[in-house]
Amino acid sequence: MTESQTIKPDEYYSGVRHEMLAFLPDGIERVLEIGCGDGNFGAVVKKDRGIEVWGIEYHPEKAHIAAQKLDTVLTGDVAVLLNELPDNYFDAVVCNDVLEHLIDPYSVLDGLKHKLTERGVVVSSLPNIRYHRNFFDLIFGRNWTYTTQGVMDFTHFRFFTINSIRSMYESCGYEILQHVGINATSSLRPWPLIILSLGHFSDIRYLQFATVARVKQ
């Protein structure tokens, strides 16, 4: 892959992900967004909820922009920065399509347990490797082709299904509160398989899965 193919467009870091706002619980006071990019998602949360919002962003130039919108922004690898976060502080930690970029998301989720308040939750969006385009491309096209964005983003270290997401959280000591498909395709292409399988392949409709989890009591 050439250097020009590895450069992310600005909108990659500036998206708001409005569909994820609904998964934030009511009554929260402090939020941490991991992979906050330009800080636009956190800025919406801060404005709409009137609460304190922190961010962590790996890319310095994007973190600098986010720091002008959020209360506190840390720059660097979340796995390294975990120890700099206050314990028992955040009511919600948001990971919008971030965990798949980590070498070890399990250890990060484990470390985040100590940063959550008693009512705190982790809210995540994760791409679905069984999304119908990828599913058919692999099964029928025999392809496993990386791209600059999307499910097969070349920067993804991990790939997830509806079941493996649940397993990851549970193995890290979390209890799942919500776990649903989001950004369903409008294409009719997956429906013959879904119908013939009596719904067994219904997960291939969804580009991502949104999960809300709390530390198991």
Q: Does a structural domain hold residue 211?
A: yes
- pLDDT score at 15: 74
Q: Does a structural domain hold residue 201?
A: no
Number of domains in the chain: 1
- pLDDT score at 8: 61
Q: Does a structural domain hold residue 196?
A: no
- The pLDDT averaged over each successive group of 10 residues in the chain (217 residues) is 46 78 97 97 96 97 97 97 97 97 97 97 98 96 92 94 98 98 97 97 98 96
Long-range contacts of 150-155 (CB under 8 A, 24+ apart): 151/127, 151/207, 153/100, 153/127, 154/1, 154/5, 154/6, 155/101
Distance (Å, whole) CA 211 – CA 127: 11
End-to-end CA distance of the chain: 46
pTM: 0.92
Q: Which domain holds residue 22?
A: 3-127+158-184+207-215
Q: Does a structural domain hold residue 20?
A: yes
Distance (Å, whole) CA 51 – CA 43: 10
